[in-house]
Chains A and B, each alone.
Chain A
Amino acid sequence: MLYFSKLRITFVSLITLVFIYISSSNFINSNNNFFEKKINLGLDLQGGSYLLLEIDNKPIIIKKLQNSTTAIRNFLKNQNIIFSDLKIVDTNIFFNTTNKDQEKIESLFLSEDSEINPYYPKYKTHQFRVNIDGNQFKLEFSKYGLIDIKNSSQDQAIEIVRRRVDEVGTNEPNILKRGNNRILVELPGLDDPMRIKSLLGKTANLTFRFITQNDNDVFGVEKLFFEDTTEDAFVSKRIILSGDNLLDAQPAMNNQSNEAIVSFTLDRVGAKRFGKATSTGVGKQLAIVLDGKIVSAPVIRDAIVSGSGQISGNFTFQSATDLALLLRSGALPAPLNIIEERTVGPDLGQDSIEAGIIALLTGFILVIVFMFFKYKFFGLIANITLLINLFLLTGVLTLFEATLTLPGIAGIILTVGMAVDANVLIFERIKEECKNEKNNIVAFDSGYVKSKTAIIDANITTLLAAIILFIMGSGPIKGFSITLGVGIFTTLFSVYFIARLLTALYVLKNKEKINLI
């Protein structure tokens, strides 16, 4: 165990130097662009906001069911099937039929190439699960039907979230999918997420619809409230324009009333429809409805054919800016709820970094002083190894651009405490071997050999704990598992290559000395 070939010595030194160089890029700000990677600081160290959003898919599911009822109604009519009582209750579609048609319907819904109940060729299961109770059919989305809905709403939502966050212009946001109905938003450096939260909390579903007085509008009527008031009005369900038709929206000041407004430009289809509706509807009130509330309902005085217009409604310049931003970025497919929020201010992050560094230095100094007094020269070897180990650890973290968190720093300090264990196991074993063996080289060699299984077992158990933490942990805790886990590998490397090399060189020079350790 004590023999090192020249090649191996070169190799070990080379690796060590490379990692020291890599880790130095974290401490030295040079313009030398050869190596640019750095350890990322977690949100708890650099300050910032972590928001976990959950998509409320129920409105989408209901909407899809409504579309499906229309399709089912037409489909059954075309097949000349008599049915009654087609309705949606909760997230199920119900309808009744006669005994005669029951089997036919069943086969239409459950055949592998069913037109009305697709997905089978792709997923080996249908979009709807069909339950038959007497003459009543019950349809509900199957697991894959739901997954399909969730995935597509998540895809749309993440796109909109990204646009809104980008519009606010925060520093390198990180927006990721979590599961199939959640979105994680990390905003480094943002210490007050209030504005982003309020922007993400709005669906921004914009429609232009006529206010009507008569209840028997062909498209149906609903009663909606005005924003911030208890006033209400009947609004037709017929949508003249929606947010989809908007090309651009910008905040502006109305020169006459000195009020903040949002001016918008429509796409070609939108401009045509808006022109038609405003020319036939002169004198009518056009309600501008945002997320189920009427923002304002101006009276149409002239036909608007220019394809642009403006929204007024008690805005401050800030709220007009936000509304314009929401309209530009588009509507969310479904409401988002913030189910977890963690925000750390930049000064706390800085304090944590300082505290972490002080704790690391103190821990390191205490351990090296202890080791030096305990083992003298070999303590020195263990300490040099420990220092190189720290460089290797930061080097690996830098190479992978890992994220360092406060618990991650704790993991490094813990590594300092536990890393000497392997050297201690070896030194103690060598001491024991020296009692019976006068030849230093033989004693050192067997000390290394005999301590090996214990060292490997001991490190594997810690590694297993780190792996489980990595898999199960979130955010800062993941950072801890990374430094702890990487620390085990760098420890084994530094103990078996660096410390052993230094020990070997020393022992070979002092072969004859008694009580060497």
Chain B
Amino acid sequence: MIKFNKFYKLFNITSFFLVIISILFLIFKGLNFGVDFKGGTLIELRVNDNQANISSIRQSFKNMDLGDVNVKKFGKDNDFLIKFEKKDNSSNLIELIKNDLSKSIGDNFTFRRVENVGPKVSSELLKSGIIAITLSLAVMLFYIWIRFEWQFSLGAILALFHDVIVTLGIFSLFSLEINLSIVAAILTIVGYSMNDTVVIFDRVRENLRKYSDIKINELTNISINETLSRTIITSMTTLLALVSIYLFGGEILKGFSLAMILGVVFGTYSSIYIANSTLVKLNVTQKTVLKEDDN
């Protein structure tokens, strides 16, 4: 049996600092919002001859007076992702860019993808993204509260907050782009982390009913160990699936699968070290769950 409970304190302090650092990053560095949330235009460009390089493309776009243009490689060598925030939204903007570009780099290119999001839509999408994440946290809190006692609910929600904040913190640290699919990933992380926490909590509750003489600190440790092989196997299979999306699912799903991979790792960790140590801190006893049964 692994003594998880020996490290409760150490990892609680670690997590506390991780969350604080993440929040500091979120406040001072902020998130790198994509066009979905910031508004603007995104073009995925494929150049079919090998002449064009990133600097010549960057230069051609600089000459078009589009404001701050961001050009980067996207997967393959001849694929580029161009982003800019141009305020005026003439309906033939894309056509003008196409014409300008063919003057500077020739006709041998295609726009594989064009996304143009107006400021009104992007602020609505951001708002609904924030609502969706908050709502999912609230719904989970409520669900665990019905199924378990409030101490469990608090432990689970702390674990969820930890996972969401730290994942966002890492996105901020590396300036990874936040778009609609990242919001979907975060919601799935919330579901997954919850799922993991619930399985261990279910066992904690069962053991609380079974043993009256074991202290909660030891009891959570027993429960974690009893469910450990399941935790590892499920995390493994989920990670196998996610890693194959990351490696083979194409550029568009990279950010999504990366967020999910981080979420699964942190979700597994937090189910053990945050959710369970909260139960220890709150000194949950057999009475806590027996009271529930009486109701």
Flag A336-347 by CB within 8 Å of B: 1 or 0 each: 011111111101
**Given that A348-B44, A348-B113 are contacting pairs, would A414 and B238 also be in contact in the complex, using a CB cutoff of 8 Å?**
yes
Q: Is B55 an interface residue (CB 8 A)?
A: no
Does B244 lie within 8 Å of A413, measured CB to CB? yes
Does B234 lie within 8 Å of A424, measured CB to CB? yes
A352 to B107: give the CA distance in the assembly, Å.
Answer: 24
**Given that A457-B147, A457-B202 are contacting pairs, would A52 and B121 also be in contact in the complex, using a CB cutoff of 8 Å?**
yes
B28 CB, min distance to chain A CBs, angstroms: 28
* Residue from B94, B118, B195, B226 having most chain A Cβ neighbours under 10 A: B195
Q: Is B136 an interface residue (CB 8 A)?
A: yes
Residues facing A in B183-235 (CB within 8 A) are 183-184, 187-188, 190-192, 194-196, 198-199, 202-203, 206, 226-227, 229-230, 233-234
Contact of A54 among B116, B120, B183 (CB under 8 A): B120
Flag B115-127 by CB within 8 Å of A: 1 or 0 each: 1111011000100
Does A359 lie within 8 Å of B230, measured CB to CB? no
Q: Is A461 an interface residue (CB 8 A)?
A: yes
B242 CB, min distance to chain A CBs, angstroms: 7
**Given that A194-B92, A417-B238 are contacting pairs, would A362 and B247 also be in contact in the complex, using a CB cutoff of 8 Å?**
yes
Identify the stretch in B58-66, B167-175, B248-256, B283-291 within 8 Å (CB) of chain A at 4 or more residues.
B248-256
Q: Which residues of B contact A417 (CB under 8 A)?
A: 237-242
Flag B129-151 by CB within 8 Å of A: 1 or 0 each: 10110011001100100010000
Does B110 lie within 8 Å of A366, measured CB to CB? no
A370 to B237: give the CA distance in the assembly, Å.
Answer: 8
Does A343 lie within 8 Å of B114, measured CB to CB? yes
Q: Is B181 an interface residue (CB 8 A)?
A: yes
Residues facing B in A458-517 (CB within 8 A) are 458-466, 468-469, 471-477, 480-481, 484
Does A359 lie within 8 Å of B117, measured CB to CB? no
Closest to A341 in B: B116
* Residue from B110, B116, B233, B237 having most chain A Cβ neighbours under 10 A: B237
Does A407 lie within 8 Å of B233, measured CB to CB? no
Q: Which residues of A contact B117 (CB under 8 A)?
A: 339-341
Does B113 lie within 8 Å of A344, measured CB to CB? yes
Does A343 lie within 8 Å of B89, measured CB to CB? no
Q: Is A72 an interface residue (CB 8 A)?
A: no
A355 to B245: give the CA distance in the assembly, Å.
Answer: 8
Does B112 lie within 8 Å of A454, measured CB to CB? no
A54 to B239: give the CA distance in the assembly, Å.
Answer: 42
Does A413 lie within 8 Å of B245, measured CB to CB? yes
Q: Is B236 an interface residue (CB 8 A)?
A: yes
Q: Is A418 an interface residue (CB 8 A)?
A: yes
Q: Is A256 an interface residue (CB 8 A)?
A: no
Q: Is A158 an interface residue (CB 8 A)?
A: no
Does B195 lie within 8 Å of A410, measured CB to CB? no
Q: Is A363 an interface residue (CB 8 A)?
A: yes
A187 CB, min distance to chain B CBs, angstroms: 13
Q: Is B165 an interface residue (CB 8 A)?
A: no
Does B191 lie within 8 Å of A461, measured CB to CB? yes
Does B113 lie within 8 Å of A370, measured CB to CB? no
Does A359 lie within 8 Å of B233, measured CB to CB? no
**Given that A345-B113, A355-B250, A406-B253 are contacting pairs, would A418 and B121 also be in contact in the complex, using a CB cutoff of 8 Å?**
no
Contact of A194 among B95, B112, B226, B253 (CB under 8 A): B95
Q: Is A291 an interface residue (CB 8 A)?
A: no
A461 to B153: give the CA distance in the assembly, Å.
Answer: 13
Does B89 lie within 8 Å of A477, measured CB to CB? no
Q: Is B111 an interface residue (CB 8 A)?
A: yes
Closest to B229 in A: A428
Does B249 lie within 8 Å of A461, measured CB to CB? no
Does A363 lie within 8 Å of B44, measured CB to CB? no
Does B237 lie within 8 Å of A421, measured CB to CB? yes
A379 to B28: give the CA distance in the assembly, Å.
Answer: 49
**Given that A424-B230, A465-B188 are contacting pairs, would A340 and B116 also be in contact in the complex, using a CB cutoff of 8 Å?**
yes
Closest to A462 in B: B191
Does A345 lie within 8 Å of B238, measured CB to CB? no
Contact of B199 among A371, A425, A466 (CB under 8 A): A425
B119 CB, min distance to chain A CBs, angstroms: 9
B153 CB, min distance to chain A CBs, angstroms: 12
Q: Is B260 an interface residue (CB 8 A)?
A: yes
Does A469 lie within 8 Å of B92, measured CB to CB? no
A416 to B243: give the CA distance in the assembly, Å.
Answer: 13
Does A356 lie within 8 Å of B118, measured CB to CB? no
**Given that A356-B249, A359-B248 are contacting pairs, would A469 and B198 also be in contact in the complex, using a CB cutoff of 8 Å?**
no
A374 to B237: give the CA distance in the assembly, Å.
Answer: 11
Q: Is A162 an interface residue (CB 8 A)?
A: no
A355 to B256: give the CA distance in the assembly, Å.
Answer: 15
Q: Is A358 an interface residue (CB 8 A)?
A: yes
Contact of A477 among B44, B183, B241 (CB under 8 A): B183
Q: Is A197 an interface residue (CB 8 A)?
A: yes
Q: Is B50 an interface residue (CB 8 A)?
A: no
Does B44 lie within 8 Å of A355, measured CB to CB? no
* Residue from A197, A450, A454 having most chain B Cβ neighbours under 10 A: A454
Query: What 8 A-B pairs are tightest by C-beta distance, nearest first?
Result: A417-B241, A465-B191, A355-B250, A339-B118, A472-B132, A363-B244, A362-B244, A417-B238
> A345-B110, A465-B188 known; 4 other A-B pairs, CB under 8 Å?
A340-B116, A416-B237, A417-B239, A428-B227
Can you give 19 contacting A-B residue pairs, CB < 8 Å? Answer: A337-B118, A338-B118, A339-B121, A342-B116, A366-B241, A413-B244, A414-B188, A416-B237, A417-B238, A418-B195, A421-B238, A457-B199, A464-B136, A464-B191, A465-B140, A466-B191, A468-B139, A474-B180, A477-B180
Give B residues with C-beta under 8 Å from A: 44, 89, 91-92, 94-95, 110-118, 120-121, 125, 128-129, 131-132, 135-136, 139-140, 143, 147, 180-181, 183-184, 187-188, 190-192, 194-196, 198-199, 202-203, 206, 226-227, 229-230, 233-234, 236-245, 247-250, 252-253, 256-257, 260
